[in-house]
Amino acid sequence: MFHPFLLFNLNKNNIDMVSKKVEEALNRQILLEGESSQFYLSMASWAENQGYVGTAEFLYRHADEERQHMLKLVRYINERGGAAKIPAISEPPVEFEGLTKAFENLLKHEQKVTAEINGIVFTCLEEKDYTTHNFMQWYVSEQIEEEATARGILDRIKLTGSEKGGLYLFDRDLENLTGGSISVPNAGK
C-alpha cells in the first residue's frame, strides 16, 4: 500500500546535507551579518544623537535588513541538514568622526562582506554544492546594491560639503532613501 508520508523521511541522514566546509563558511557569514546589523545600529544611534534623524532612520532600516540576511542564512543551513550557530557578536564602534568618516567605514565594511560572500561562492564551487551556490547568488546581488548605495551616499556627502544647510538637506533626503527591499515598521513611534 502507498503511504504519502513515506515520501518525506525526517531522518536527518537522508536530507541533502550541506558539506561541513560550506556549513562552516555559512556560519562565519552569520557572524558577519550579525556584526553588520550591530554596526548599522550603532551608526544609527550615533547619528540620532547628533541630530541626523533622517540618517538614523536610514541606518535603523539597514540594521534590520542585515539581521534579516542573518536569519535567512540560519534557516538555510538548518533546512539543508546543517546546524546554524548563533555567535557572540563583538561591540561595534560607538563614536564616529562625522558623517563622511562613518559612511567611509560603512563602505569598507560592505567591501569586506562582499569579499567573504565571494569566498563562500568559491567554496561552493570547490565542494560542488550547486544548491548553496544558487542560494548565495541573492547575496552577491545584494552586495552589489549595498556597495553602490554606500558609494552613492559618500558622493552625496561630498557634493553637499560640510555646510550645515547642505547637511540638513542630505539628512532629509537620506530619510526618504529606501536603500533596500525590506520595509520596517516604525518601531517605537
**Closest C-alpha among 113, 87, 79 to residue 27:** 87
Domains of the chain in sequence order: 19-84+95-176 (1.20.1260.10)
pLDDT single digits (tens) 47-87: 999 999 999 999 999 999 999 999 999 999 999 999 999 99
pTM reported for the whole predicted model = 0.82
pLDDT single digits (tens) 109-163: 999 999 999 999 999 999 999 999 999 999 999 999 999 999 999 999 988 887 7
Burial of residue 46 (number of CB atoms within 10 Å: 0-12, 13-18, 19+): buried
* CA angle (1, 17, 117) in 5-degree steps: 145
Q: Do 26 and 69 form a contact (C-beta atoms < 8 A)?
A: no
